Structure 1
Amino acid sequence: MPRRKKLRILSKKKLLQLKPFLDNLVKETETSDYIHDDPIQFMHAFEGKDDQELAGFFAATMAWGRRDIVNAKVEDLLKRMDYRPAAFITQFSEKDARRLEGFKHRTFKPVDMYWLIKSLQSILQKFGHFEGFWKHCYNTAKRENRQLIAVFHQQFFTFHPEMPRRTRKHVSNTEKNSSAKRLYMYLRWCIRQNSPVDLGIMQFMSPAELKIPLDVHVARQARKLGLLSRKQNDWKAVLELNNKLKVLDPEDPAKYDFALFGLGVLEEEIPSELVMNTSVD
């Protein structure tokens, strides 16, 4: 069997030449119109910070598959919470579990939503707000020289050791080489400031520390452009791509999620002179 051709990668000089094209795509994509078809709409639907944080967490955690289906399933879940996620989670009791009966999205089942809610309830009881828990994980990660998402995964499940293994799989762990796409999408929503799309409601970390949410569409465009040579969509690929994006904007590398995702949404052709790897389909 012939070996697959190694992907070409941009030099720093050519990377900077690509910047105007990507910056323009960000400008075209990152508009208020983006919100209507994206799961981030469920954060914008609420005024209270607690509701925004919790609705957003479920929306991001469930962002798996076609966006229209994801949106319908998040709507279904929030309806079961009477569109009051913070109150529902804080006051959740065993009798409320029946509200989750029949819920399904991909591999999510009522048992998974039950335990996610139980863990979030314990987090709110201890830290007061979801951001307080994230800040605790961030400080722990810095102290232990670990990745934030790995600490978040570990800490999230300390409250209920009896939680089934199947539910734990719905929260990423970068120490297992996961790309953590959904959690970094959530952090993009919460951390980036001065955006018509992202809410910037959390301040426990800087936008400069965000990683791009790496899904198959973003990875494909990144490989075409010579921003990514690794062929697996894993944590190592996230770090490789992030190193390139920080050259373009060290203070806000995650904004290029809009550019790479926007290439598919806007169906915009990449100028032939910018395509580094024509073999990427």
Structure 2
Amino acid sequence: MPLSTDFRELLEVKAEEFNQPAFIEDDPISIPHAYQQKQDIEISGLIAAVLAWGQRKTIISKCKEFFAYMDNAPYDFVLHHQEQDLKAFLAFKHRTFNATDALYFISFLRHYYQQYESLEDAFIMYMKQDDKDIENGLVGFREQFFSLPDYPERTRKHIATPARNSACKRLNMYLRWMVRKDDKGVDFGLWNRIKPSQLICPCDLHVDRVARRLGLISRKQTDWHTALELTNNLRLLDAEDPVRYDFALFGLGIEERWGK
């Protein structure tokens, strides 16, 4: 990997700098941090990750609007809402995510949580014991998510899959939140059956740009194979927790000297 000692040290320093509680407030991860119950964190985290498109301030605002419609009790709402409780979502829109999408997400989550206690099962049930990464879990999750007979075709674009060669940046970010374990207080580490070593680095605009400048990505396009290439290079730095460098790459990307 063409990464100099100076760049390695830079990534270590920046990972430490940004993987701190101060990171939370201005990031979509602040949404699940508003909750204590495991299922509330899972549901709010999934929605926040799916809506993580555009300016972070707007994303956070739209997420707060979404969960206000649930009386800020996502798990209870998903399981026990009545038909009239869904009317508020008819006005919801963020980018291309609209009421139709919101209502299907709620429908799926209700169906799912009537059978399982944790969204981790929705990924882990499709993985094999010797899987190096989360790919099979991501492919299976999308298949299960759209297993209800009344799913809207338009909603499929909001759940990415490696089967379509998507980089799956939002779902990979969500999995980082749920799986990574450390004492920094940012990621939750709620899930134990997926290993941090199996995570794939989310390739958002900032991460992609900085990773290319550091020589961590050589592919011209940004797709699933790009995410694998980046993560495999990060594994050379930390095989057990490669995605912790997401903090460094993202942080460098939002700093002015890297954003030009």
Same structural fold, with TM-score higher than 0.5 when normalized by the shorter chain: yes
Gap runs ≥5 in structure 2: none
Q: 2:67 aligns with which of 78, 97, 120?
A: 78
CA offsets per residue over residues 67-96 of structure 1, 9 Å max, x none? Answer: 000000000000000000000011133222
**Which of the numbers 179, 182, 194 marks the counterpart of 1:191?**
179
Query: What is the CA RMSD across the aligned residues, in angstroms?
Result: 2.0
SS in 2 for 1:138: coil
1:115 alignment partner, one of 89, 104, 107:
104
Residues in 1 aligned to 2:256 and 2:20: alpha-carbon distance in whole angstroms: 16
- Tell me which amino acid in the other structure corresponds to 1:51: D
Aligned to 1:180: 168
The Cα of 1:266 is off from its aligned counterpart by 3.5
Name the SS for the 2:94 alignment partner. Answer: coil
Write the deviation string for residues 199-242 of structure 1: whole angstroms up to 9, x where unpaired: 11111211011010001211111111111111211101101111
For residue 84 of structure 2, what is the amino acid of its counterpart? K
Q: Deviations over 1:155-187 (max 9, x none)?
A: 1111x1221110111101111010000001000
Q: Which runs of 4+ in 1 moved over 3 A?
A: 14-17, 137-142, 266-270
User: Which residues in structure 2 correspond to 1:141-180 (within 5 Å)?
Assistant: 147-158=136-147, 160-180=148-168
Distance in 2 separating the partners of 1:114 and 1:52: 19
Alignment of 1:93-104 (within 5 A): 93-104=82-93
Aligned residues: 257
Larger Rg: 1
Structure 2 CA distance for aligned equivalents of residues 211 and 16 of structure 1: 23
1:200 counterpart residue number = 189
- Looking at structure 2, the residues matched to 114 and 155 of structure 1 have their Cα atoms a distance apart, in angstroms, of 17
Q: Once the 2 structures are TM-superposed, how far is the Cα of residue 146 of structure 1 from its aligned partner? A: 5.8
For 1:56, which of 36, 45, 67 is the aligned residue? 45
Matched residues in 2 for 1:98 and 1:157: separation?
22
Query: How far apart are residue 246 of structure 1 and its match?
Result: 0.4
1:205 is paired with a residue whose SS is coil
C-alpha contact 1:51 1:85 (8 A) present in aligned 2: yes
- The match for 1:38 is 27
Sequence identity (%): 39
Q: Work out whether 1:20 is the aligned partner of 2:9.
A: yes
Q: CA shift at 1:15, angstroms?
A: 5.0
User: C-alpha separation between the residues in 2 aligned to 1:15 and 1:125?
Assistant: 51
The residue identity in structure 1 corresponding to 2:95 is R
